[in-house]
């Protein structure tokens, strides 16, 4: 069965609109697509251009949320359309695209995280009455502040909620290492090379910044049905935090980038859960970023 449907769009064609239900996503073969907020309205904002090889619309399919942007063909556009119904068939035919989609989501998370940190630094400087109010920076933040109404409807959604709903459907057993760890065991340290990600199947894991230092800060606790370490595994970059086991007999599954294709063959639902986790992480980050942008442009 061929799960891919090739489509052609002419320059100016709308592929989908903000608020639409997402039943499919696309990979660009030729041409350029633009993502817009409030397309066709006086306050229209263009967010980005998407080029050959890139995917768009995948988040609405992965986590079943409405489209948050309108996507338009900037030039004649040739794409592959992948439906939600045929997603598993698509991954069966092209298992290498599992990691490709994860890399794209990871790249967006890293990029938005950098901007979010920049906005937070600006807010701190503003609060200290030491901000340098550069017009270009404020303009960029105002663009993202325009998506507040979208952020509001997403604010109640968390990765943990979505994943827990799907956890019961995961087949028993796994071909990957599943081990039990005692309380206090460090899984990885901040600054370590990121070679693997982990699925929590029992117990809990704490994620810390500055672990065992004067600036130690606990970021979150993770429980059964959640994942951690995926960013380092996907991009093979250094860990940004330390992961510590919080309960005796905490059960973790170890997943490497090279394991993803085989994991899909043996347990496709778990791949879906990882993608959902990444998509929701990006959505939550977007919500936080929008709130920070609105605070930064207030009274400006």
3-state secondary structure of 286: helix
Q: Mind listing the domains of the chain with CATH numbers?
A: 4-94 (2.60.120.10), 99-156+283-297 (no CATH), 172-266 (2.60.120.10)
- pLDDT value at 276 more than 60: yes
Confidence category of residue 130, pLDDT binned at 50, 70, 90: low
The Cα 137–Cα 152 span in angstroms is 24
CB 61 within 8 A of CB 6: no
**Residue 100: what pLDDT?**
93
Confidence category of residue 142, pLDDT binned at 50, 70, 90: low
Which are the contacts of 1, defined by CB distance < 8 A and separation ≥ 6? Answer: 86, 89
Mean pLDDT score of the chain, rounded to an integer?
A: 83
**Range list of β-strands (E), the chain:** 4-9, 14-16, 24-30, 33-37, 45-50, 55-56, 70-73, 77-83, 178-181, 186-188, 196-202, 204-209, 217-223, 227-228, 242-245, 250-256
**Residue 297: what pLDDT?**
73
**Residue 298: what pLDDT?**
72
**Residue 189: what pLDDT?**
92
**Residue 121: what pLDDT?**
83
CB 255 within 8 A of CB 233: yes
- pLDDT value at 237 more than 80: yes
CB 260 within 8 A of CB 43: no
3-state secondary structure of 47: strand
pLDDT tens digits for 145-171?
555 445 444 444 443 444 444 444 445
**Residue 99: what pLDDT?**
93
The Cα 300–Cα 294 span in angstroms is 10
Sign of CA dihedral 248, 271, 288, 104: positive
**Residue 103: what pLDDT?**
92
Confidence category of residue 243, pLDDT binned at 50, 70, 90: very high
**Residue 51: what pLDDT?**
94
The Cα 280–Cα 130 span in angstroms is 35
Q: Output 283-287 pairs: Cβ under 8 A, ≥24 positions apart.
A: 283/59, 283/63, 283/65, 283/154, 283/157, 284/154, 284/157, 284/158, 284/159, 285/109, 285/112, 285/113, 285/116, 286/112, 286/147, 286/151, 286/154, 287/151, 287/154, 287/155
Confidence category of residue 135, pLDDT binned at 50, 70, 90: low
pLDDT tens digits for 41-76?
888 888 889 999 999 999 888 877 788 889 999 999
Q: Name the percent of the chain in helix, strand, coil, to the closest 5.
A: 40, 25, 35
pLDDT tens digits for 247-268?
999 999 999 999 999 999 888 8
Mean pLDDT of 114-129: 78
pLDDT tens digits for 182-223?
999 999 999 998 889 999 999 999 999 999 999 999 999 999
């Amino acid at each position: 069965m061929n799960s891919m449907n090739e489509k052609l769009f002419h320059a100016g064609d709308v592929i989908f609109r903000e608020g639409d239900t997402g039943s499919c996503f696309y990979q660009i073969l030729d041409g350029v697509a633009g993502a817009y907020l409030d397309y066709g309205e006086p306050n229209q904002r263009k967010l980005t251009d998407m080029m050959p090889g890139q995917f768009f619309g995948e988040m609405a399919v992965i986590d079943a949320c409405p489209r948050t942007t309108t996507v338009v063909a900037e030039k004649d556009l040739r794409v592959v359309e992948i439906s939600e119904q045929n997603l598993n068939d698509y991954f069966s035919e092209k298992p290498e695209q599992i990691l490709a989609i994860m890399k794209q989501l990871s790249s967006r998370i890293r990029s938005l995280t950098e901007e979010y940190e920049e906005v937070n630094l600006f807010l701190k400087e503003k609060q200290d009455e030491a901000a340098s109010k550069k017009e270009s920076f404020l303009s960029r933040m105002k663009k993202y502040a325009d998506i507040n109404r979208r952020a509001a409807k997403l604010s109640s959604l968390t990765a943990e909620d979505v994943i827990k709903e799907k956890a019961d459907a995961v087949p028993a057993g796994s071909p990957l290492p599943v081990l039990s760890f005692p309380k206090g065991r460090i899984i990885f340290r901040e600054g370590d090379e990121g070679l693997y990600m982990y699925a929590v199947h029992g117990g809990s894991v704490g994620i810390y910044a500055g672990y065992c230092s004067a600036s130690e800060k606990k970021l979150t606790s993770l429980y059964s049905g959640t994942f951690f370490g995926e960013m380092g595994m996907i991009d093979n970059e250094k860990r940004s935090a330390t992961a510590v086991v919080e309960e005796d007999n905490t059960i973790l599954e170890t997943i490497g980038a090279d394991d993803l294709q085989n994991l899909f063959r043996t347990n496709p639902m778990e791949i879906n859960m990882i993608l959902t986790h990444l998509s929701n992480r990006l959505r939550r980050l977007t919500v936080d970023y929008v709130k920070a942008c609105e605070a930064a442009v207030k009274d400006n």
